Amino acid sequence: MEYLILGLSFVLIMGGIIGCFLPLLPGPVTGWIGIFVLYQHPGIPSEPLFLGWTFGVTILIFLLDYWIPIAGAKTFGGTQAGVRGATIGLIFGFIFLGLLGLAIGPFLGAVSGELMDDPKNRKKAFKAGFGSFLGFLGGTLLKFILAVYFLIVFVQLIWVHDLV
């Protein structure tokens, strides 16, 4: 049972890292659940304060991840159409181009969304695309930092409590 807890925790934490780049999987939340599962291991003492503050940070970053790209697009003059386009571009970019699609998909999607909304204003579309792309990168970076932190906590707890 103890190895099942360790394995499930590891899979959830790795899913959290992958979820930083796949919009269908809530990365930070998945990683936090992995940490929560790890603390159910009988060899690891309970840390409710740690779980509480990491949960708070997880929820904050989860919410910021939705707000940051919108703020980036709006800061650069974009609309909701550009933000929706960036999200769609992210999904299709990843499906068809892999990691390269993660970089260019949101930009192309935001530009396309803005051009569909206002075909005559290309300058605005490219500015909004750039802002949405910067916002996407900022949100992804925040999620990735938290997800890697959860992996470090996992390894540290396994190491300190000599569980493998």
Q: What is the pTM of this model?
A: 0.80
Task: Specify the pLDDT at position 160.
Answer: 93
The domain in which residue 10 lies consists of 2-160
What 3-state class would DSSP assign to 39? coil
What 3-state class would DSSP assign to 43? coil
Predicted confidence (pLDDT) per residue in 128-154, tens digit = 888 877 887 888 899 999 999 999 999
Q: Name the pLDDT band for 25 (thresholds 50, 70, 90).
A: confident
Helix and strand totals (H; E) in the chain: 6, 0
Predicted confidence (pLDDT) per residue in 32-90, tens digit = 999 999 999 999 999 999 999 999 999 999 888 878 877 787 788 887 788 788 778 87
Residue type, 125: A
122-160 vs 48-75: helix crossing angle, rounded to 10: 170
For residues 119 and 99, which has the higher predicted lDDT (pLDDT)? 119
Task: Specify the pLDDT at position 153.
Answer: 97
pLDDT at 14 over 90: yes
Backbone angles phi, psi at 141, to 5 degrees: -65, -45
Is residue 16 within 8 Å of 58, Cβ to Cβ?
A: no
Q: How many domains does the chain have?
A: 1
